[in-house]
Structure 1
Amino acid sequence: MKLSVWAKVVSGLFELILAIPIIGGLIVIGNGYLPLTIVFFLHLTTLIICVAAKHSFKSSVLGMITSLIAWIPVVGWLFHGLTSIALFVSAYQTRKKISTSSSIQ
């Protein structure tokens, strides 16, 4: 698997953890909102990797937006869930695209 796919999966897993009701909120608030900063830079790193590999990066942009607005309780929960789904779907599509193009050659 390519690095961009792994980066999307890892970012998606972080978002999935933060989307767990109550637990995600406790993680964020209990650590002084530091996890949102960490996840923002994780999405930024994923974005850079995807741009360099010429793969889709929209889900990483969504993740960065989520990290910026996730301090709003219900909105944060909703966006973490949606971002997680978007990252997993994007990772699957990228992996499928990579395997299709490599099998054609």
Structure 2
Amino acid sequence: MSASRALKWITGSFEIILAIPILGAAIVIGTGYSALGLMFILHLVTLILSSKNQESIYGSVLGIITSLFAWIPFVGWVLHLITGILLMVSGGQKTRYPSNRTYPQ
């Protein structure tokens, strides 16, 4: 498993935890919103690694957007939930290799 796929699973799990209504709000508010800053950094690292590995980046892009707007009540909950699901799905997908590479047979 590549580092980017592992980070997709990790960030997806964190997003699902933050999507739990009372628990997620308690974590975000209890950390003084620094949890959102940490998630922003994790999503950015995941985005860079996924881009280098030519894997899907939509979950990480949405994660960055979520980190910026998750302080808004109810909007943050929906964004965390959707982002978590997308990251888990993209983390579970097999890597597709570009068609311009040749492999030994």
TM-score (norm 2): 0.88
Deviation for aligned residue 1:88: 0.5
Q: Which residue of 2 aligns with 1:73?
A: 73
- Please give the secondary structure, in 1, of the residue aligned with 2:21: coil
What is the RMSD computed on CA atoms of the aligned residues? 1.7
Q: Partners in 2 of 1:89 and 1:16 — Cα distance?
A: 13
Partner in structure 2 of residue 97 of structure 1: 95
Aligned mates of 2:10, 2:35 — CA distance in 1:
14
Q: Structure 1 stretches (4+) deviating beyond 2 angstroms?
A: none
| Structure 1 gap segments, 5+ residues each | 99-104
Q: Post-superposition shift, 1:97?
A: 3.1
CA distance in 2, matches of 1:84, 1:34: 18
Match of 2:51 in 1: 51
Q: Kindly tell me the number of residue pairs found equivalent between the two proteins.
A: 99
Alpha-carbon distance in structure 1 between the residues aligned to 2:39 and 2:72? 16
Aligned to 1:4: 4
1:58-89: CA deviation from partner (whole Å, max 9, x where unpaired):
11000000000000010001110000000001
Larger helix percent: 1
- Select the structure of larger CA radius of gyration: 2
Match of 1:14 in 2: 14
Q: What does residue 28 of structure 2 align with?
A: 28
How far apart are 1:16 and its partner, in Å? 0.8
Letter matched to residue 72 of structure 2: I
